[in-house]
Every structure is written in structure tokens, then in C-alpha cells.
Amino acid sequence: MKGLWYLLAGTLSGLLAGMGMGGGTLLIPALTILLGVGQHQAQGVNMLAFLPAALLALHIHRKEGRVSLQHAWPILLSGLAGAALGTLAAAALEAAWLKKAFGAFLFFLGLMQWRKP
């Protein structure tokens, strides 16, 4: 039965990732809260699951003409630097603090969306 929950979490997070909404916002809480996976492991699984989903979504979005490489390069390069810093920060934090930081991030995102007209 637990395997079914993993499949459901992966499918739903892939759906969100393909839509550009960040599948990790669903996958990480599903893994940690529902399936008891540790925070660091859940974030690592999220990164691994993100790669093929992102490549497939990127292929489709580019085919549809929705990707501007001119605008993407600065974001890509600075995003790689941010990912390296974020990975080092996550590795340095205890799981409890990492979980709280992720929860605060989700709360902040929800608050910003709620306040938008």
C-alpha cells in the first residue's frame, strides 16, 4: 500500500512540475508527513525526481515556443550558483531546522498568493 502512495506523490508532483508550479511543494510534504521520509532524504529525492520531469517539460515548452533562451541564460547561471549555495546550506542545517525553513517558505508563498488580487 505504501508503494501506491509513492506512485501517487510522484505523479501529482510531476503534474505540478510540468505545469511550472514546483512539484517539490507537494512531493516533499508528502514524503515527510505522509510517508515518514527524513527531510534531507525527501529533498534529495525531490531533486532526483525533478530532473527527468524538468527535461521533458522543457522539451515540450520549447517545442511550443514558450522558452526564450536569451532571457533564460542569466536565470540559469544564477540559478546554478543559488542551487550550489542552497545545497551547502541544507547540508549544514539539522533536519528539524530544514523542515521549519521549508514550512516557512511554503507559508510565505501561500500568503503571497492569497494577497494577490
Rounded Cα–Cα distance for residues 86 and 77 (Å): 14
- Say yes or no to pLDDT of 77 above 90: yes
**The Cα angle at residue 93 between residues 92 and 94, in degrees rounded to 5:** 125
All three cell numbers of 81, joined, read 550558483
In this prediction, residue 82 has a pLDDT band, given cuts at 50, 70 and 90, of very high
Mean pLDDT calculated for residue range 20-48: 89
CA neighbor of 48 nearest in space, from 75, 23, 74, 85? 23
Whether residue 12 contacts residue 26, with contact meaning beta carbons closer than 8 Å, is answered with yes
Encoded amino acid at 21, one letter: M
**Rounded mean pLDDT of 28-51?**
91
Rounded to a whole number of angstroms, the distance between the first and last alpha carbons of the chain is 41
Mean pLDDT throughout 25-31?
89
pLDDT of residue 26: 86
pLDDT of residue 18: 74
| Report field, pTM of the whole predicted structure over 0.85 | no
Q: How confident is the model at residue 64 (pLDDT cuts 50, 70, 90)?
A: very high
Cell for 35? 510517508
